[in-house]
Structure 1
Amino acid sequence: MLHPRRADPHFAAEADAARAAGVDVAVVDHDALARLDGTERAVARVTSGGEAVYRGWMLTSAQYAAFAEALALRGVVLRTGPQQYRRAHELPGWYPCLQAVTPASTWTEGDDRAAFDEACSGLGAGPAVLRDHTKSMKHHWNEAMFIPDVDDRAAAWAVADRFRQLREDDFAGGFVLRRFEHFTGAEVRTWWINGACRLIGPHPDTPNDYPPSDIDVTDLAPRVAALRLPFVTVDLALRADGVWRVVEVGDGQVSDRPGAIPPQALIAALITGSAVQ
């Protein structure tokens, strides 16, 4: 970190908004967090106890668990516990509650070819997209994401093998196969605190594409509430038949905020949110 006592510029506006709202702010060293043996150093500047919400770059589930443990030794409890983080961060955790409103999916634990073939059988013939438990390689669509027909096992495995090569040490959990659905327009990022949708805005990848004003998440609300998670984002896309579908869920702490959502609005929503009952 070039300026270890300052918030990363990407999150500085949120840190300023939190301070202005009377919230204590502590800076943690993400580079140290990313190394499991550097967790104590990462939280060295955290001095006060109480409940905390992390806003920063993505962590693996193991890194987040170590982070939570180090904070607990300082009397600080993360509003989102390690198991809750994993449930939001990894598709197998959130998929059961949202299965009816998201593309059909199967997955593996690990990168074994036999397990991958079994997952292909479970999904069935037809086109699919590939990812791991946390991330896709959408910038490598043809070589490492899109599978024209899952029943063509050799071609499907070629995509999976290339995906595995590109992800290298970042490969998380196992392969995930998702039924391909044709979406139109830009994605919408919705922000949920304790099962209630508090903010709706563009997806960070398309920050100038604002969602329609009449988007209705009423039917989605009980499914998100069933996750029993304090702070998540749910990304939606409009399918070609006019139905809004869930394309991704993420832990809100590591979800990017587009400029269309003022930092003050996000901080206000987090302050008024209470712990999951």
Structure 2
Amino acid sequence: MTVAVVDHDALARGDDVERAVSRVPAGGGVAVYRGWMLSSRRYAGFADVLATRDVALRTTAEQYRRAHELPGWYPALAAVTPRSVWTVGTDRADFDSARSAFGRGPAVLRDHVKSMKHYWAEAAFVPDVADGDAAWKVASRLRELRDDDFAGGFVLREFESFTGSEVRSWWRDGRCVLVGPHPDTPYDRPSTQVDPDTIAPMVAALALPFVTVDLVARADGVWRVVEVGDGQVSDRPTSIAATEFVAAL
């Protein structure tokens, strides 16, 4: 493989994208990005400037957004993931409309890309969505903590009790090529084995070239999808050798 380094910080800022990709050979054909997360908007700019060098990202900007942001992947996987509603804005009226659609009960709050689960009580968990003021306090704190990284809008996910460690599965063109622990817990193994075939038709329906699907067992033993991500920016757990990872892909 031909490998070229890009300047991620410059890509993330969006202030000098041409310089950021200056070491990518022109006329390089199809390329796969492997690096830190980019916003959907910055990834689109990355793809555009590469195109001027006759280099095409195998994952298009539209495909990246669908994998990277929950509203893009949720419809295909709604049957196997917590019920979710979301906003496309960040003001109180948008949030209250989403709360009304959700109804009552506990929920986990996030934006279109990420939660702040390490700030569980103050910026992630909503004990009862029907309590508007309390829910908005959590939403406001999430917005504050995510700051410039806040993506899209608010997402309310129905709270489900999970047990054990998360599993990360890797999918290429709708086919599962690798299953392993989540990067946050690289040496933890779940008590029961996940069967990727149960979600294979749903992942294939996404029609995305390279994604990860994170799963965890619910308290009743049913495996649930907790996250989908673009495979290019998904971390590899340290317990999986790089050679094994590359061979699978």
TM class by shorter chain equals: over 0.9
**Contact 2:163–2:219 (CA under 8 A) maintained in structure 1:** yes
Matched, 1:25 2:10: no
**Runs (4+) of structure 1 moved beyond 6 Å?**
none
In the alignment, structure 1 segments of 5+ residues that lack a partner are: 1-22, 271-277
Q: Deviations over 1:159-215 (max 9, x none)?
A: 001111111111110000000000001110000001111000010111110245732
Matched, 1:95 2:68: no
SS of equivalent to 2:4: coil
Q: Distance between the aligned counterparts of 1:71 and 1:211, measured in 2? A: 41
The 1:212–1:200 alpha-carbon spacing in structure 2 relative to 1, beyond 3 Å, is farther
Matched, 1:43 2:15: no
Matched, 1:196 2:175: yes
Pick one of 45, 52, 66 that aligns with 1:73: 52
Number of aligned positions between the proteins: 248
**Contact 2:164–2:190 (CA under 8 A) maintained in structure 1:** no
SS of equivalent to 2:72: helix
Pick one of 110, 118, 129 that aligns with 1:139: 118
Q: Distance between the aligned counterparts of 1:240 and 1:183, measured in 2? A: 5
Q: Distance between the aligned counterparts of 2:239 and 2:101, measured in 1? A: 40
Percent of aligned positions that are identical: 69
SS of equivalent to 1:37: coil
**Contact 2:107–2:157 (CA under 8 A) maintained in structure 1:** yes
Structure-2-length-normalised TM-score: 0.97
- 1:259 deviates by 1.4
Match of 1:219 in 2: 198
**Contact 2:82–2:157 (CA under 8 A) maintained in structure 1:** yes
Structure 2: which amino acid aligns with 1:196? R
Q: Distance between the aligned counterparts of 2:137 and 2:191, measured in 1? A: 39
Compute the RMSD of aligned alpha carbons. Answer: 1.0
Q: Deviations over 1:138-163 (max 9, x none)?
A: 11000000000001111111100111
In the alignment, structure 2 segments of 5+ residues that lack a partner are: none
**Contact 2:164–2:191 (CA under 8 A) maintained in structure 1:** no
Q: Distance between the aligned counterparts of 1:248 and 1:214, measured in 2? A: 18
